[in-house]
């Protein structure tokens, strides 16, 4: 694991003005699909309980003159805040020689890195904290809400596959609100044609079946998944602490064995520490499945790429 990485003059060459360069071009930071779509819950402590309806009341026709009873029950979904962090050291001479504020320039790329880590954990379960429940894609897979792309042009191509995936959510009694998708979905939408070769619809890459598409940060939705659709109000992100930027000019950086790898004061360095505390959980209230299905109801479904 990297503990000794540092920005030096070689790494920051593009940030140090030279006679033939007067500006820095950086890629626009991409936002997190999880932060954009999930319901946000502010947390005043490390844990927070969200009540969820676990037993729904039932109504009856009064046929015998006696009204029957029903019950309702709630269980708690626990949000546990965990920390995402990074430390970026840089040599003071590099900062001094730069014609632009390096730390300001780093904020967007670091934000994108945090978005990727968060989306991978929430959507795919990659390196997720042990205190968090199953991520959306694995949980939807366990619930059987998976469709593998196989629609022909006569069936609408990828539009047909998207419709089949959306139907899985609706069959469980939920109304989907949006898609979270990999950029690998875009060319499939653009290439969708009828059996006659005509472009399907307007080929919009931002909307599918009247639901907006939020594209995740590159690499945040692993193969073979192309898209996730569902009721995103059921996915809760607990925000314990907004992203915090702190600049240190003194202190040491150690590796996981405790060995010192950087001494800021002795090495004339500064270090930017960025932290973000966030929790995640999926609330799954009881629903009445369409068609009387008896499977596990889950508010999300997954579209996977075909062979």
Name the token pair of 99. 């014609």
Which of 108, 123, 146, 139 shows the shortest CA–CA distance to 33?
123
Residues 150 and 158: beta-carbon distance below 8 Å:
no
Provide the pLDDT for residue 267.
Answer: 85
Structural domain containing residue 91: 27-55+72-283+294-300
Provide the pLDDT for residue 70.
Answer: 47
Per-residue pLDDT of the chain (307 residues; tens, 9 = 90+): 676 665 554 554 443 333 322 222 232 235 688 888 988 878 777 776 665 444 445 565 666 666 554 444 445 577 788 888 888 888 887 777 766 676 667 767 777 788 888 999 999 999 999 999 899 999 999 999 999 988 877 777 888 899 999 999 999 888 899 999 999 999 888 887 777 766 665 557 888 889 999 998 888 899 999 999 999 988 888 887 667 777 788 888 888 888 988 888 888 888 888 888 888 888 776 665 555 444 568 889 999 998 7
Number of domains in the chain: 1
Answer whether residue 13 is part of any domain: no
**Strand, helix or coil for residue 222:** coil
| Euclidean distance between CA atoms 5 and 90, whole angstroms | 9
Provide the pLDDT for residue 293.
Answer: 46
Provide the pLDDT for residue 18.
Answer: 33
Provide the pLDDT for residue 176.
Answer: 94
Answer whether residue 78 is part of any domain: yes
Provide the pLDDT for residue 137.
Answer: 95
Q: For strand 178-181 and strand 225-230, is the pairing parallel, antiparallel, or unpaired? A: antiparallel
Answer whether residue 31 is part of any domain: yes
- Residue 201 is classified by DSSP as T
Answer whether residue 186 is part of any domain: yes
Provide the pLDDT for residue 39.
Answer: 84
Q: What is the CATH number of the domain that holds 155?
A: 3.30.2400.10
Q: Which residues have C-beta within 8 Å of that of residue 121, sequence separation ≥ 6? A: 127, 128, 129, 132, 135, 280
Answer whether residue 17 is part of any domain: no
Answer whether residue 15 is part of any domain: no
**Strand, helix or coil for residue 189:** helix
Provide the pLDDT for residue 3.
Answer: 60
Q: Which residues have C-beta within 8 Å of that of residue 211, sequence separation ≥ 6? A: 166, 176, 177, 178, 179, 229
Answer whether residue 88 is part of any domain: yes
Name the token pair of 4. 């000794």
């Amino acid at each position: 694991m990297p503990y000794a990485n540092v920005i030096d003059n070689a790494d920051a060459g593009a940030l140090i003005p030279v006679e033939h360069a007067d500006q820095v071009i950086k890629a626009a930071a991409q936002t997190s699909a999880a932060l954009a779509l999930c319901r946000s819950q502010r947390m005043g402590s490390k844990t927070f309980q969200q009540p969820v309806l676990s037993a729904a009341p039932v109504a009856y026709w009064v046929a015998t003159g006696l009204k029957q009873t029903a019950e309702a029950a709630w269980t708690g979904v626990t949000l546990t805040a965990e920390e995402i962090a990074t430390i970026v050291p840089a040599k003071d001479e590099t900062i001094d020689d730069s014609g632009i504020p390096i730390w300001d320039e780093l904020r967007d790329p670091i934000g994108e890195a945090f978005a990727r880590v968060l989306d991978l954990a929430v959507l795919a379960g990659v390196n997720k904290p042990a205190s968090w429940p199953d991520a959306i894609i694995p949980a939807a897979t366990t619930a059987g809400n998976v469709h593998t792309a196989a629609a022909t042009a006569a069936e609408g191509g990828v539009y047909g596959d998207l419709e089949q995936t959306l139907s899985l959510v609706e069959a469980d009694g939920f109304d989907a609100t949006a898609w979270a998708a990999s950029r690998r979905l875009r060319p499939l939408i653009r290439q969708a044609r009828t059996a006659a070769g005509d472009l399907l619809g307007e080929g919009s890459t931002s909307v599918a079946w009247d639901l907006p598409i939020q594209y995740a940060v590159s690499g945040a939705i692993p193969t073979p998944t192309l898209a996730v659709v569902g009721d995103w109000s059921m996915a809760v992100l607990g925000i314990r602490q907004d992203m915090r930027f702190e600049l240190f000019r003194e202190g040491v950086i150690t590796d996981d064995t405790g060995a010192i790898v950087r001494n800021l004061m002795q090495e004339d360095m500064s270090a930017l520490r960025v932290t973000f505390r966030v929790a995640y959980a999926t609330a799954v209230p009881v629903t009445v499945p369409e068609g009387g299905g008896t499977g596990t109801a889950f508010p999300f479904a997954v579209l996977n790429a075909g062979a």
